[in-house]
Amino acid sequence: MKRERLLLPPVCALAASALLLALLGIGPCLPGLAQGIVDPTLPLVPIPDVVTVEATDPEAAEPARVPPGQMRPTLLNPALFTVTRTGPNDFALPVQYHLEGSAQNGVDYEFLSGLVVIPAGSTTALITVTPFDDGLVELTETVAVVLDSPICPAIFPPPRECYQLGSPFAAKAVLLDNGEGAPPSGPVVNLVATDDSATEPPTSDPSISKLVDRGTFTVTRTGGDLSLPMLVFFGLEGTASEGIDYAPLGSTVWIPAGASSVELPVIPWFDTLKEGDESVVVRLYPSPIIDPAGPGGVILPVEYYDVGSNSVATVTIHDNSLSTGNLPPKADIVRPVSGSVYTAPAAIEIVVQTADADGYVPFVEFFAGTQRIGESRITWIRKPDPGTLVTHSFSWGNVQAGDYLLTAVAHDDLGATTTTAPVAVHVDPWLGTLPRVTVSATDPEAAEPTPLPPGMGLAIRPNVAVFTLHRTGGDLNRPLAVHYHMEGTARNGVDYAYLPGLVVIPESVSDAEVTVVPMDDDLVEGTETIDLVIDPVSCPKFARFDPTCYTVGDPGAAEAKLLDNDPDDSLPPVIHLYATDPIASEGQPVWGTREAVFILHRTGRTNEAVTVGLQVSGTATPGLDYESLPGSVTLPAGERRAKLVLVPIDDKIPEGMETVRLELLPPPAPAKPLPGWPAYRLEPPYRAEALILDDDHPLPSSLHLPDGMFHVCLPIPGPGTYEVEVSPDLKTWAPAGPANPIAGILHYIDPEVVGPSGKFYRLAPAGTTTAP
């Protein structure tokens, strides 16, 4: 049965000292203090591991090539980073990190996952950076390891894996080139007029929306470091005047970081002069080498460059008063952009924007290379005004892998045509070669195992569910690790045996199975669902293929049913014991009643009366400190509970806190062993403990009691009923029973703890373990 869990929030920094006092038993339980999950192990505030990193071998080098025919191994020279922890080392500690520097992970050196584990018993772990030989002559590159802080849940104390970052938390190494391959080239800039024609606009009226027929220069760079921006210098020539015939362009332009080109638009300005065609000439200049501290104080460019062979280009501005015939339209492909990459079979949406200074564009043809792939026609009731922007589009579907050069031909209303500049796109088959993983529930029904009475000589037969993961495509000669997670109303590790979320399909095999083994919990839950969902993995396109990648096919999830075996009238009832009110007081307290209350509760059949033996112990004395309790309790036929009230005796003697401990006894063994079930069964919790306080003693804090047991107080976060849950490892939580809050605080005494135990406690909304 699915049950929502409530983790109390972590303690605020301002309340940390008050929390520590409360946990040490120095201060009272404060309703406003969010104590969260409490661990009674002393010391109560554990010290986390502090993790640092150091480049213990800060220099790596690409391996030298071994000529063919020479029987010599390739010698590797890796860089080494040492991750060190200070603190306890009796457990394995996973440490997360990320990589920085000019060298690329998986391209310049072997791929690193971002996770390193310091083994149990060790204080260090190595991160090895093994360079690749890429056949290029490169400058010295850098690689840096930066430790990441872990993501920790809001619990107290935090899990042991929640380490802290020390200093240094980052380290750097260098990667030397082996000097083989083609020498690297410096950055080179070139210029081209990608649209060498512009036209003065027909009007200067800003209220009329027109598409200006502009020209375009494109400055490109090759070589160098694309991660840096580049400042390019140029001069203007030609018969057109800057700032009079066209918008000012300046004398420099930035190529942004990560980009290989930038456009210089030539935007004509409206005038009424008959000027004929005018020219705008741009000439690239080399980057100046001037000392910024010298005369003029010129700022040096971000990166120096050389000017290539295409250093001059021209755009012609046509006059708007000289056109006596039909001007050709303007047309540009605005989507996709050149260099776009798709995955086969691709659907490519091609969008063309058009305008015609003396008309409009009703018809556009689309081409891939020389092949006509489609067209777009628009019919208007009212023709657009001259210069109106008109958009045409065409969806090209089922495009197979390859390189394509897309163009469009725009036809205006009087028959003039313009062909757009080509746009290069690539359709990549790379993802199609990855294995595609699907899942199906090949055995979609499991059931909780039905226990058999002792002495029958029969084995319990599990009824499991089976999920089968299947891969198609990819390299069957390699094993494939598939990640998944579990969903549904049944809980992983609670209702069925824990599944780790990873399954490996062996080499030469297409399938792997995940088996769900139900666990019997004696709870009436009905049919629950078990869902297995395949997790996708990130597959960046490294220079070398990553065999751990796959895609998730359809279906990527499957569901099975988990049938309940409860209630089963053939099973004996199960008896539990709870202290629903574990605090008693010799005097009349301000917080409520002075008695403590124990509840015996049974699950299963209620046809017969059940008498359960009771053992009483503790530091308090029956008949002196409290009214004596019976040696057994009977649950009548038809009843699920019996109530025991602990009545303290006010003896007027200062005694401090005293404890009363109850334990249920198993049913007496018959004189002659018989097959079949006993009268009842005991399952935790079958021990409980209460406190007796002196007249004026306040409510206790979280502390160890005189008999060694642990008392914890947890603030109630809001209205509703809650129960206590206990965990030894913050993974598996078991209900410890319901309890009634006192003044906004829920008090619980763990009868199983004697001294430090390493247990954790939390509150959960009352679910299947309800107050009897």
pLDDT tens figures, 442-465: 999 988 876 655 544 555 667 899
Torsion of CA 189, 190, 194, 195, to 10 degrees: 100
DSSP code of residue 320: T
DSSP string spanning 546-571? -TT--EE-S--EEEEEEE-----TTS
What are the distances in angstroms from CA 453 to CA 284, 376, 499, 669, 767? 94, 79, 29, 15, 29
Most confident range (mean pLDDT) of 334-343, 370-379, 468-477 is: 370-379
Question: What is the token pair recorded at 283?
Answer: 């000439």
Q: pLDDT tens digits for 370-405? A: 999 999 999 999 999 998 999 999 999 999 888 999
What are the distances in angstroms from CA 579 to CA 206, 319, 660? 83, 97, 11
771 — pLDDT class (breaks 50, 70, 90): very low
Question: What is the token pair recorded at 729?
Answer: 């490892």
The confidence score (pLDDT) of residue 292 equals: 39
Q: Which residues touch 13 (CB under 8 Å, ≥6 apart)?
A: none
Q: Cβ(505)–Cβ(480) under 8 Å?
A: yes
The confidence score (pLDDT) of residue 452 equals: 55
Q: pLDDT tens digits for 285-305? A: 987 644 433 444 444 445 678
271 has pLDDT over 60: yes
Q: Cβ(317)–Cβ(240) under 8 Å?
A: yes
Q: Which residues touch 535 (CB under 8 Å, ≥6 apart)?
A: 483, 484, 485, 501, 552
Please compute, for residue 178, the number of CA atoms within 13 A of its CA located in the half-sphere on the CB side: 20
The confidence score (pLDDT) of residue 643 equals: 92
pLDDT (average), residues 596-610? 87
Residue 727: name the closest of 708, 753, 703, 754 by CA.
753
Give the integer Cα–Cα distance in Å for 451 and 453.
7
Question: What is the token pair recorded at 51?
Answer: 């993790």
Determine what percent of the chain is predicted with pLDDT higher than 70: 78
Residue 172: name the closest of 63, 56, 94, 51 by CA.
56
pLDDT (average), residues 245-274? 87
The length of the chain in residues reads 772
What are φ and ψ of residue 194, in 5° steps? Answer: -70, -20
The amino acid present at 202, given as its one-letter code, is P
CA Rg, the chain, in Å? 39
577 — pLDDT class (breaks 50, 70, 90): very high
Is this structure's pTM higher than 0.75? no
pLDDT (average), residues 84-96? 89
Rounded to 5°, angle at Cα 230 from 225 and 232? 135
22 — pLDDT class (breaks 50, 70, 90): very low
Question: What is the token pair recorded at 269?
Answer: 């300005």
Give the integer Cα–Cα distance in Å for 437 and 458.
40
- Determine if residue 652 is left, alpha or beta; phi over 0 gives left, psi from -120 to 50 gives alpha, anything else beta: left
What are φ and ψ of residue 23, in 5° steps? Answer: -70, -30
Q: pLDDT tens digits for 150-169? A: 877 655 567 788 888 888 88
429 has pLDDT over 50: yes
Rounded to 5°, angle at Cα 476 from 474 and 478? 100
Across the chain, what does the average pLDDT equal? 79
Better-predicted residue by pLDDT, 290 or 203:
203
Better-predicted residue by pLDDT, 739 or 576:
576
Q: Cβ(196)–Cβ(315) under 8 Å?
A: yes
Cα 58 to its chain centre, rounded Å, is 31
Question: What is the token pair recorded at 625?
Answer: 């400190």
- Bridge partners, residue 327, by sequence: none
Coil, strand or helix at 427: strand
The confidence score (pLDDT) of residue 707 equals: 75
Better-predicted residue by pLDDT, 146 or 720:
146
The confidence score (pLDDT) of residue 185 equals: 55
The confidence score (pLDDT) of residue 567 equals: 55
74 — pLDDT class (breaks 50, 70, 90): low
Domains and CATH numbers, the chain: 50-176 (2.60.40.2030), 188-318 (2.60.40.2030), 330-429 (2.60.40.10), 433-563 (2.60.40.2030)
Q: Which residues touch 454 (CB under 8 Å, ≥6 apart)?
A: 675, 676, 677
Coil, strand or helix at 432: helix
323 has pLDDT over 60: no
Coil, strand or helix at 358: coil
The confidence score (pLDDT) of residue 38 equals: 47
474 — pLDDT class (breaks 50, 70, 90): confident
- Residue 51 exposed, middle or buried by CB count within 10 Å (0-12, 13-18, 19+): buried
- The helix or strand, by DSSP H or E, that contains position 534, with its residue range, turns out to be strand 528-534
Residue 102: name the closest of 43, 144, 41 by CA.
144
The confidence score (pLDDT) of residue 450 equals: 67
200 — pLDDT class (breaks 50, 70, 90): confident
DSSP code of residue 742: B
6 — pLDDT class (breaks 50, 70, 90): very low
- Residue 242 exposed, middle or buried by CB count within 10 Å (0-12, 13-18, 19+): middle
Alpha helices in 11-147 (DSSP H): 16-23
280 — pLDDT class (breaks 50, 70, 90): very high
- Bridge partners, residue 266, by sequence: 215
Residue 188: name the closest of 91, 103, 309, 366 by CA.
309
DSSP string spanning 439-465? EEEEE-EEEPPPP--TTS------B-E
343 — pLDDT class (breaks 50, 70, 90): confident
Question: What is the token pair recorded at 257?
Answer: 């970081």
Determine what percent of the chain is predicted with pLDDT higher than 90: 34
Question: What is the token pair recorded at 438?
Answer: 């699907």
Question: What is the token pair recorded at 327?
Answer: 């001007």
